[in-house]
Each structure stands twice: as structure tokens, then as C-alpha cells.
Amino acid sequence: MHPFILLQRTNGSDTLSPLIQGFAGANMTCRVVFNQKGGVGKSTITCNLAAISAARGRRTLVIDLDPQGNSTRYLLGPRAEELDSTLVDFFKEILSYSYKPKGAAGYIHETPFDNLHLMPAHPDLEEQQGKLESRYKMFKLRDALESLEGYDALYIDTPPALNFFTRSALIAADRCLIPFDCDDFSRQALYTLLANVREIQEDHNNQLKVEGIVVNQFQSRARLPREIVNELIMEELPILKSYLSPSIRIRESHQHARPMIHFDPRHKLTTEFEALYDTLSQDTQATA
């Protein structure tokens, strides 16, 4: 059994702080879900894979770096609006040379789901960016996450841009997952995106592995998406074999703030998320 952080509530705050820390998991994976385009399924895929990971007993943390906070709302529901401690405070700490820094562990919240924790986003992240960038803080997230103990899997959700937050995430992670929505414009953008990831790999993070492209909202009966995906495969892009279907249930799952594994465990899309999760785990074990 892995050692795990025992968490306690600090007075008057809903933040969790570590009471006893276990050993850092040597097998901890840190996965970034990235695509410069919005609406391709980054937050949906981040939260659903993280929820499966947690449901299977892995101690899992979601880091929501998107100021829009969609993952934060998905995992916390209305509670997301009342948080007194978010990633904005984490980055404030980084900018303020605190003598007694809380570190990343000080900004982690429980979710209603066992084994699933969250570092929540905040809208003010947007305006913090300039300061963080001008003071070269791009490596701080990696350092902070590396010092976290007791987690088996980290999932980082990112904003739809190549900016300070996405660069920090790509530097911190060892796996990169790229959702793709079968749109022809997104297809053109994939090449630029892969080149950007490769540049960060070369310059800053040689541990980073592109796990693959997740085909999302794939309409198997429509000709165009089939053609687009086949062409990408012919061009030897790393298309993962588990595709995700379109389903209205995902929106309902967002509305109820319950990832699919909890909201509708027998649904086809849930099975597809599980198949995707298994594909990624097999690959992780194979390369470990």
C-alpha cells in the first residue's frame, strides 16, 4: 500500500494541509491535457480520467490552471464559487518570497469523490500572468508539484493558449495528452501544437512524452471525421486507439458536477473513458 498524506482542516478554512506525509511516489505520473484551441474537451477529459484514476484507488490530484475554472466547477459544483484559497494564492506566494511558504500542499482541496483532490483555478489567474512571466517563474509549478508527496497521479488542465500557465504545465509534466475535436481547422493547428510541445521538450523538459492525440466527439457514421482521422493516422500522428463519442450526457454530468464514472457508470462514453484510461496506463507501465 502506498503511504498517503493525512489531511486535516485548518481553522476557519476549507483548505487541506498535510498532517503526516508519506514517501514521494516514485511512480507518480504527471499528465498535462493541452490544446491551444478551446472547446476540444480538455477539461472534460482531465476530470473524467482523474475521476477514474481516483475510483480505482489511485491518489489523484487535478490542477486547474485555466482561469475559466471549468474543471474546478465540474469537480466542486457550487462550492467552487466560495473558495478562499486557490492557485491564485499559490502564485501570490511564489511572487512574495514568503518565509514560511505553504507550498502546493497548502492549496489543495478535497472533492466529494474519494481519492480525488483539486488545486482550484480562479479568474484572477489571468491578470497574474504578466507578473509571473516577467519574473521568470515558469519552473515554480514543476518544483512545487515535485515536492508534493502521497499522490499517484496528477492531472493538469490548461487554458486554450500557449501562455505562462500552459508552458509551466508542459515543463512540470511527464505526459502530454492532446484532445482533438475532428475539426479541419483544429487539424491544421495540430502541427503547430506538436512543434510547440517539441520545443518545450527540447529546451526545458526532456522527460515529457507525448502520449497521444485523443479523438473526441468522434461521429463514426459521418464521412468527414473518419477521413480526417484516417489522414492523421496515415501521416503517422500519434492517434490513440480509444476514441470518445459525442453524448449529451457529458453536459448533464457537468451540470450535476459528477464525472461520468459516478454520474452514469454504464454509459457508452464512460466505457470509452475507461478504455482510454486503460490504454494510457498500459503505456505508462510499458515505458516505466
Ligand X SMILES: Nc1ncnc2c1ncn2[C@@H]1O[C@H](COP(=O)(O)OP(=O)(O)O)[C@@H](O)[C@H]1O
Host H or E run for residue 176:
strand 175-180
Pick one of 70, 85, 111, 115: the residue that binds Mg ion (CB under 5 A): 70
Angle (CA) 194 162 74, round 5°: 100
Q: Closest approach of Cβ 181 to ligand X, in Å?
A: 8
Q: Closest approach of Cβ 204 to ligand X, in Å?
A: 23
Count of residues engaged in binding ligand X, rule: CB under 6 A: 17
Q: Do strands 60-64 and 29-33 pair parallel, antiparallel, or not at all (unpaired)?
A: unpaired
Cα 229 to Cα 68: distance, rounded to the nearest angstrom: 29
Host H or E run for residue 86:
none
Which string of x and - marks every residue 195-234 that binds ligand X (by CB under 6 A)?
Answer: ---------------------xx-----------------
DSSP alpha helix (H) spans, the chain: 42-55, 70-76, 87-95, 125-134, 140-146, 164-172, 184-204, 223-234, 249-255, 260-263, 268-287
Q: Is 238 in the site for ligand X (CB under 6 A)?
A: no
Q: Is 9 in the site for ligand X (CB under 6 A)?
A: no
Q: Is 70 in the site for ligand X (CB under 6 A)?
A: yes
Pick one of 21, 246, 275, 284: the residue that binds ligand X (CB under 6 A): 246
Q: Which is nearer to Mg ion, 3 or 246 (CB)?
A: 246
Q: Which is nearer to Mg ion, 53 or 70 (CB)?
A: 70
Q: Which is nearer to Mg ion, 16 or 80 (CB)?
A: 80
Q: Closest approach of Cβ 76 to Mg ion, in Å?
A: 15
What is the end-to-end Cα distance of the chain in Å, rounded? Answer: 19
Query: What are the residues facing 175 on neighbouring strands?
Result: 31, 209
Q: Is 42 in the site for Mg ion (CB under 5 A)?
A: yes
Distance between alpha carbon 4 and the CA centroid of its chain, in Å?
A: 21
Q: Is 258 in the site for ligand X (CB under 6 A)?
A: no
Of residues 85, 76, 63, the one with CA closest to residue 10: 85
Pick one of 87, 244, 257, 280: the residue that binds ligand X (CB under 6 A): 244
- Tell which positions 112-171 bind ligand X, by CB under 6 A: 160
Q: Which stretch binds Mg ion (CB under 5 A): 69-77, 161-169, 172-180, 235-243?
A: 69-77
265 Cβ contact list (under 8 Å, min separation 6): none
Which residues make up the interface to Mg ion (CB under 5 A)?
A: 42-43, 70
Which residues make up the interface to ligand X (CB under 6 A)?
A: 38-44, 70, 160, 216-217, 244, 246-247, 250-251, 254
